[in-house]
Amino acid sequence: MVTIAFIWCYKTVIYLHAIKAIPIKNHGRKAKGIFKYGLSFVANVLLNAKNLIPVDIFDFLSCT
């Protein structure tokens, strides 16, 4: 289960990176880690009743 969740978050980051890259701070490091960026997006999509991000939930859950 943990491996599936990790891969799901990683594939989400690949999708998000195509839309908007993770911002880089002044010291040269990314604002969020790769896993944290994907995990926060997945949590936002699944846990918010009023989702402001237009996401087709079935396409999102299929990881395509």
43 confidence band (pLDDT: 50, 70, 90)? confident
Q: 10 Å Cβ neighbour count for 30?
A: 13
For residue 8, give the nearest of 35, 33, 32 by alpha carbon: 35
pLDDT of residue 59: 66
Residue 57 has pLDDT above 80, yes or no: no
pLDDT of residue 17: 81
* % of the chain exceeding 90 in pLDDT: 0
- What residue type is assigned to position 44 of the chain? N
In the predicted model, what is the mean pLDDT of the chain? 78
pLDDT of residue 20: 82
Q: Which residue has the tokens 């079935």?
A: 58
